Amino acid sequence: MDMRSLANYAVMLFPCTEVALLVFRRSRESSSAKQDRSSLLVLWLTIGTSVGLAIWLQWHPAAVFPWPASMTAAIALCILVGGMVVRWVAILSLGRMFTVDVAIQADHVLVQKGLYKFVRHPSYSGLLLEFAGLAVYFGTWVSMIVIVVPVTCAMLYRIRWEEVALRKTFGAQYAEYAAHTKSLIPGVV
């Protein structure tokens, strides 16, 4: 199987996993305090618009990457699969506390081990890598811009509300955790 075929499968798997999370990992109204502030809606609308625009723009090859398509597929595959691994390791680390909406469970625990030892939001780090891989898959610099920039902005909006909820719930414990960990990229942001 060639790189392009593998990249095609990864690109098809990516939205399937995200829709499955959306369907199966919502918080239950009775057991959690939702504090989403419509950030999930903002994120999904931004994703739909950005990816739709990238799909449309891929047919305008003015900004095509200057290397062979096989290399583009290999790079996209590595970034996309790497992002999936990071995202799913983070989700599995949180276990039942992971929900797609910003919600604090009645017996919520602040996880600070595994990937959470290095960044506060590794599932979002993985998701951003997945979108970067998808942008590379489309093969143009324009797709990198129209996917990565708006999705990152929407994700930062979502992180803002998630951090408000976590600070409200965990107070000084979360403040101390935030003081020694970055939000998305270890040692950077």
Assigned domain for 116 exists: yes
Assigned domain for 144 exists: yes
What distance in Å separates the CA atoms of residue 170 and residue 166, rounded to the nearest whole number? 6
Task: Find the CATH number of the domain harbouring 108.
Answer: 1.20.120.1630
pLDDT per residue as tens digits for the range 23-78: 776 655 544 445 666 888 899 999 999 999 999 888 776 788 889 989 999 999 99
Q: Residue 29: what pLDDT? A: 53
Q: Which two tokens stand for residue 173?
A: 């414990």
How large is the average pLDDT for residues 119-133?
A: 97
Assigned domain for 124 exists: yes
Which residue has 């992180």 as its token pair?
A: 159
Assigned domain for 99 exists: yes
Q: Residue 35: what pLDDT? A: 61
Q: Which two tokens stand for residue 158?
A: 């979502």
Assigned domain for 185 exists: no
* Structural domains of the chain, count: 1
User: Degrees (nearest 5) of the Cα angle 162, 137, 52?
Assistant: 65
Helix (H, G, I), strand (E, B) or coil at 5: helix
**In terms of residue numbers, what domain contains 134?**
3-15+35-180
Assigned domain for 189 exists: no
Assigned domain for 164 exists: yes
Assigned domain for 186 exists: no
For 88, counting Cβ atoms within 10 Å of its Cβ (0-12 exposed, 13-18 middle, 19+ buried), the class is middle
pLDDT per residue as tens digits for the range 3-16: 889 999 999 999 99
Q: Residue 34: what pLDDT? A: 55
